[in-house]
Amino acid sequence: MSADDAELRAALSAVVEPELGRSLGELGMVRAVRSRRRAVEVTLALPTEPWPVADELAGRVRLALGPGAGGEDAVSVQFSPMSDEERAHLKAALASPPGGEPGGPNRFMAPGSRTRLVGISSGKGGVGKSSVAVNLAVALAASGQEVGLLDADVYGFSVPRMLGVDRRPTAIDDLLVPPVVHGVRCLSMGYFVPDDQPVIWRGPMLHKALEQFLVDAYWGEPDFLLIDMPPGTGDVALSLGQYLPRTEIVVVTTPQPAAQRVAQRSAFAARHLKLPVRGVIENLSWFTGSDGTRYELFGAGGGQALAESLDVPLLARIPLVPEVREGADVGVPVRVSDPHGEAAAAFDALAEAVLALGPARIYRSELKVR
Ligand SMILES: Nc1ncnc2c1ncn2[C@@H]1O[C@H](COP(=O)(O)OP(=O)(O)O)[C@@H](O)[C@H]1O
Ligand SMILES: [Mg+2]
């Protein structure tokens, strides 16, 4: 291999695979790279065919090799399927932290993992819980955090549509890899429910399903795993309390004082399950008219009052902005479609407040100081 080829191979190995979030070198996806005269030919090994982000991957490869190859057009990318051994290697790489020892596909579950699990809850539906979860996830990702979002609202299932997820998770043998959209790895329990059938989830079913969504799917070790919880006090909180006692809870409410009591119940339920309630988010706080006047359409003070009664901070007040709903309907979150607008600013402030809180300190009897 010439020096040039070695350089090309190094540049290619460093390219990050969009769906898996790891380098092609680590994943063992580089099969061949050859430069002949003015063209560079790359062959990548794919874990499954079709590979959902093959075009994006090829684009990244062309972008990375273009400068050395005399232009992106000079780089051609071909794909071929992985062998069983290559797939096993790839799965082992996914189960290990970059450069480290294997720890399982879901390192976020291990004690001491850096992942903050944050359950977004509300007393009732329609207060904007999913809108907050989606835009908070995008805002955190935009600030450089690695973010997963689990839609566990089995009665809502709105997260994939709101985030703009247009494909199902990819199965690499028995490992389910949720797609990454707008920097957020997202999995919904809704994928596994037929569209036109009402589902009545009983506690044990939900418990099993949630376990599966957390254990069988690939999440790696993101900085945040946000969980859009079903409204109310129910079973998902119970299951989270059992599987993931590190889960922190934030409560979304609306400004009218009457909404408080309903929201409070979900906070009390979380506390009963020993999940720490970290803060309150008030949504639909005001609407800014074209003359700049703020109209408090749904009253005022509900978020602050709830925060005080729970003795936690009010993390953010999110205005009512028509683009929030429009973005949700077309699958482009407002934090993406209008990153400098009023709503985006509120979600950025929320992301900062969540980061500033730091992880909850939770006493766990299995942790001992030696
Ligand atoms: N801040 C906001 N501004 C404008 N529309 C909003 C806002 N928050 C939520 N919505 C809209 O209100 C409706 C309910 O919000 P959603 O997030 O689905 O609530 P929940 O998950 O609590 O049921 C959706 O149509 C959503 O787009
Ligand atoms: Mg919802």
> Same domain, yes or no, for 196 and 138?
yes
Across the beta sheet with 184-188, the strand order is 180-181, 184-188, 147-151, 224-228, 116-122, 248-253, 277-283, 314-318
Tens-place pLDDT, residues 1-27: 455 788 899 999 999 999 999 999 999
The CA 112 to ligand 2 mean position distance, Å, reads 30
- Residue 91 Cβ inside 6 Å of ligand 1? The answer reads no
Quote the number of domains for the chain. Answer: 2
Q: Is position 166 within any domain? A: yes
Q: Is position 369 within any domain? A: no
**CA pseudo-torsion sign 327, 333, 337, 342:** positive
Residue nearest to atom 15 of ligand 1 (CA): 128
Identify the CATH number of the domain in which residue 21 sits. 3.30.300.130
- Residue 156 Cβ inside 6 Å of ligand 1? The answer reads yes
Report which of residues 195 and 259 the model is more confident about. Answer: 259
- Residue 285 Cβ inside 6 Å of ligand 1? The answer reads no
> Same domain, yes or no, for 115 and 89?
no
How sure is the predictor about 345, in pLDDT bands with cuts at 50, 70 and 90?
A: very high
Q: Is position 367 within any domain? A: no
- Of the residues 129, 130, 131, 135, which should be mutated to test ligand 1's pocket, given the most ligand atoms within 8 Å of the CB? 131
All residues at 6 or more sequence positions from 111 whose CB lies less than 8 Å from its CB, including other chains: 364, 366, 367
Is 321 exposed, middle or buried (CB count within 10 Å of its CB: 0-12, 13-18, 19+)?
A: buried
User: Of 94, 125, 149, which residue sits at a domain end?
Assistant: 94
Q: Is position 363 within any domain? A: no
> Same domain, yes or no, for 76 and 141?
no
> Same domain, yes or no, for 64 and 155?
no
Residue type, 187: L
Tens-place pLDDT, residues 60-69: 999 999 888 8
pLDDT of residue 370: 45
- Of the residues 229, 325, 335, 347, which should be mutated to test ligand 1's pocket, given the most ligand atoms within 8 Å of the CB? 325
> Same domain, yes or no, for 90 and 124?
no
pLDDT of residue 325: 96
- Residue 178 Cβ inside 6 Å of ligand 1? The answer reads no
Tens-place pLDDT, residues 168-209: 899 999 889 999 999 999 998 877 776 666 666 677 777 888
Helix (H), strand (E) at residue 36: strand 30-36
Q: Is position 102 within any domain? A: no
> Same domain, yes or no, for 316 and 172?
yes
* Distance linking the first and last C-alpha atoms of the chain: 52
Res 238 pLDDT > 90: no
pLDDT of residue 368: 47
User: Of 59, 94, 129, which residue sits at a domain end?
Assistant: 94
116-122 vs 224-228, strand pairing mode = parallel
How confident is the prediction for the chain on average, in pLDDT?
89
> Same domain, yes or no, for 116 and 67?
no
User: Of 42, 69, 94, which residue sits at a domain end?
Assistant: 94
- pTM, rounded to two decimals: 0.91
> Same domain, yes or no, for 42 and 163?
no
Q: Is position 99 within any domain? A: no
- Joined together, the tokens standing for residue 221 give 């070790």
Mean pLDDT value across residues 223-233: 90
Q: Which domain holds residue 88?
A: 3-94
Lowest mean pLDDT of 18-22, 93-97, 131-135, 303-307, name the range. Answer: 93-97
> Same domain, yes or no, for 111 and 90?
no
- Joined together, the tokens standing for residue 171 give 């199965």
- Residue 121 Cβ inside 6 Å of ligand 1? The answer reads no
Identify the CATH number of the domain in which residue 293 sits. 3.40.50.300
> Same domain, yes or no, for 159 and 247?
yes
> Same domain, yes or no, for 211 and 287?
yes
- Residue 135 Cβ inside 6 Å of ligand 1? The answer reads no
> Same domain, yes or no, for 90 and 184?
no
CA of 156, nearest ligand number: 2
Residue nearest to atom 26 of ligand 1 (CA): 325
Q: Is position 101 within any domain? A: no
Q: Is position 187 within any domain? A: yes
Res 229 pLDDT > 70: yes
How sure is the predictor about 362, in pLDDT bands with cuts at 50, 70 and 90?
A: low
